[in-house]
Chains A and B, each alone.
Chain A
Amino acid sequence: MAIRRILIANRGEIAVRIIRTCRALGIETVLAASEADRDSLPARLADRTVCIGPARASESYLQIGTIVHAAQAVAAEAIHPGYGFLSERAAFARACETSGIIFIGPTAEQIEAVGDKLKARAAAAAAQVPVVPGGAVDCLEGALALARRIEAPWLVKAVGGGGGRGMKRLERLEELPSALELAASEAGAAFGDARVYLERYVTHGRHIEVQVLGDGAGKVVHLGERDCSVQRRYQKLLEEQPAPHLSERLRRRLHQAAVRFAARLKYRGAGTVEFLVDTEGDVFYFLEMNARIQVEHPVTEAVTGVDLIAEQIAIARGEGLRLEQSAISFVGCALECRVNAEDPARDFQPSPGRIATAHWPSGPAVRVDTHITAGARVPPYYDSLLAKIIVHASDRGAALERMRTAIAATRIEGVATNLAFHAALLADAEFASGAVDTGFVARFLARTPLGGEERKVG
């Protein structure tokens, strides 16, 4: 089906990113913006902007009916949901399906299948993809029996969850009843689903994810793996491709596992299969699948030369996969730093405000995905991502050097940023040696002063 006009149901840098590809493809864009984003850069770049509601996301970017209605009223054939907001809401994908609008993403059933962590675990096991030992919890006796079977420490997680909410770590069996109760009530409040499950807590793990594209009929290709172990409280801060210091055998197994999992779902569109890779042994576990374009997709674009948004649109148009696996090649190394309006000297507190100065780096193999220009407002209602700085080089050492230069050349005034964190991280010997685990950032922050007078350690 032809797509001449796309409604973008998102904001910030990803809206700018989607507009860029649409322009290249000759597709008109209509931005669905909240009142707070009417004068934003994507609002100026889009062919048209419609104001869908007040600043608060629950009354604008999360209003399924309003957004579908807007798409119909402006005669858009398709909606691109970006990431976050409605991108992984099955009800939204279903509303598009029933309204005759193309949802640029997977089917509603696929979103449901990967959104329910227990269903996803079952699908992974069925696809011969290893999962962390654990399982469903319906009563305390069952939970205790399960906990005894798998080893301590444990993690109680929300079935409908994500982002660390509804998650409790415990070391002793006596803690289990209270952890279950707490996790269930947190999960119920956050996701409207109080079901929890129990897993072994893998202490030394790397977060490695595989980018896939599926045609919706069972054919899936992968575009390599990203290492996203540099995280603070489950928030990724720096990503890279390829994952450093990984045996070729393990790398291949990760790719194959991701393809098997997505193929079993007959996955449609761009998605990411996340794994926890045990740094000690040569083992990995399925974590979850993200059924959307991801923030860190540009590192994959840098290494493969593939425009992932263009492939999403092609699949949505019914063109299927335009790339054979053998045609996808991987060149060099790419890094991405997320520049957030957060103050590392004040425990990464968000810092909304007006941007007085914005100077972004440039040069060969330096890419900046941003919606921030001088004078732009950073509203307090949304996430604090200002920009993604992406560099590409022939090897990791050269990429690190290029990123150091890029971060040093960046100047943002008006709001506090985490640029000092990135500068310190890129100067750190442990990070430079590669293959850090997800506990690295906490250790790094504990030993690295970042300019805070009374910085809390721990």
Chain B
Amino acid sequence: MSLTARDVAEITRLLEESSFDELYLEFEGLKLSLKRGSAAQVAGSVPAAPGVRATESAAPRATEPTASHVPEGGVPAAPPGDLEDVAAPLLGTFYRAPKPGNPPFVEVGSPVEPDTIVGIIEVMKLMNTVRAGVSGRVSEILARDGMLVEYGETLLRVAKAV
């Protein structure tokens, strides 16, 4: 299975016309993730990043890369060298909020301290809180709400405070 530039353009158009902000597609070893965003911001902050991340080359589009290096409000995130991964301390189901419907513990751009709770990992009805372990600002959230995370999997990234 291969994906042509025309296919990607078509998928991107569908995303733009939909009410969704993100699209994640995986089939036959090919992964494609698209995220709605402003093209101008992308061009200004991460010029080298392709708009589409896929295993095969595809035409860049007016979409942001999956990694939202640009937090809401347009504040540029720290350079990648100062990013710290927050890894899952155990396998389980990851939740971004204390209860369904509640606001998430952190968003991209949220300031965190080492003991700030950034999420919950549920194992057999047991809720384990996950703490940032580092001071800084959340630059990227990789783990998806309600999904299985493995031990050691990166949940989010924090731009370390200097």
Contact = CB atoms under 8 A, between A and B. Distances in A.
Contacts of A65: 123-124, 126
A60 B122 CA distance: 16
A52 interface: yes
Contacts of B152: 35, 51
Contacts of A68: 124
A52 B90 CA distance: 7
A66 B148 contact: no
B151 A69 contact: no
A143 B20 CA distance: 75
Contacts, number: 40
B93 A69 contact: yes
B150 A66 contact: no
B123 A35 contact: no
Contacts of A74: 148
B91 interface: yes
Interface of A: 35, 50-54, 60, 65-66, 68-70, 73-74, 95, 99
Interface of B: 90-93, 122-124, 126, 148, 150-153
A358 to B, nearest CB: 28
Nearest to B124: A65
B112 to A, nearest CB: 24
A69 B153 contact: no
A60 B124 contact: no
A51 B123 contact: no
B91 A53 contact: yes
B148 A52 contact: no
B113 to A, nearest CB: 25
B90 A66 contact: yes
A50 B91 contact: yes
A60 B150 CA distance: 11
The A interface is mostly helix, strand or loop, or mixed, namely helix
A73 B93 contact: yes
Contact of B91 (A69, A95, A99): A69
A66 B153 contact: no
Name the 8 nearest CB pairs between A and B, nearest first: A65-B124, A73-B148, A51-B150, A51-B151, A53-B151, A65-B123, A69-B123, A52-B91
Contact of A52 (B93, B124, B126, B150): B150
B91 A70 contact: yes
Given A65-B126, A69-B123, A50 B90 contact: no
A438 B153 CA distance: 48
Contact of B92 (A35, A54, A69, A95): A69
- Chain B CB within 10 Å — which of A50, A65, A69, A99 has the most? A69
A52 B124 CA distance: 14
Contacts of A54: 151
A55 to B, nearest CB: 10
B1 to A, nearest CB: 18
A416 B151 CA distance: 32
25 contacts: A35-B151, A35-B152, A50-B150, A51-B91, A51-B150, A51-B151, A51-B152, A52-B151, A53-B90, A53-B91, A54-B151, A65-B123, A66-B90, A66-B91, A66-B124, A68-B124, A69-B92, A69-B93, A69-B122, A69-B123, A73-B93, A73-B148, A74-B148, A95-B124, A99-B124
Contacts of A52: 91, 150-151
A60 B151 contact: yes
B86 to A, nearest CB: 16
A73 B91 CA distance: 10
A68 B92 CA distance: 10
Contacts of B90: 53, 66
Contacts of B92: 66, 69
Contacts of B124: 65-66, 68-69, 95, 99
Given A66-B91, A66-B92, A69-B92, A50 B126 contact: no
A62 to B, nearest CB: 13
Contacts of A73: 93, 148
Contacts of A53: 90-91, 151
Given A51-B150, A66-B123, A69-B123, 20 more contacts: A35-B151, A50-B150, A51-B151, A51-B152, A52-B150, A52-B151, A53-B91, A53-B151, A60-B151, A65-B126, A66-B90, A66-B91, A66-B92, A66-B124, A68-B124, A69-B93, A69-B124, A70-B148, A95-B124, A99-B124
A147 B93 CA distance: 55
A99 B123 CA distance: 13
Contacts of B151: 35, 51-54, 60
A66 B123 CA distance: 6
- Chain A CB within 10 Å — which of B90, B93, B126, B151 has the most? B151
Contacts of B91: 50-53, 66, 69-70
Contacts of A70: 91, 148
B148 A50 contact: yes
A66 B148 CA distance: 11
Contacts of A60: 151
A52 B152 CA distance: 9
A50 B88 CA distance: 13
Contacts of A51: 91, 150-153
Contacts of A99: 124
A60 B148 CA distance: 16
Nearest to A50: B150
A54 B87 CA distance: 12
A73 B124 CA distance: 11
B121 to A, nearest CB: 10
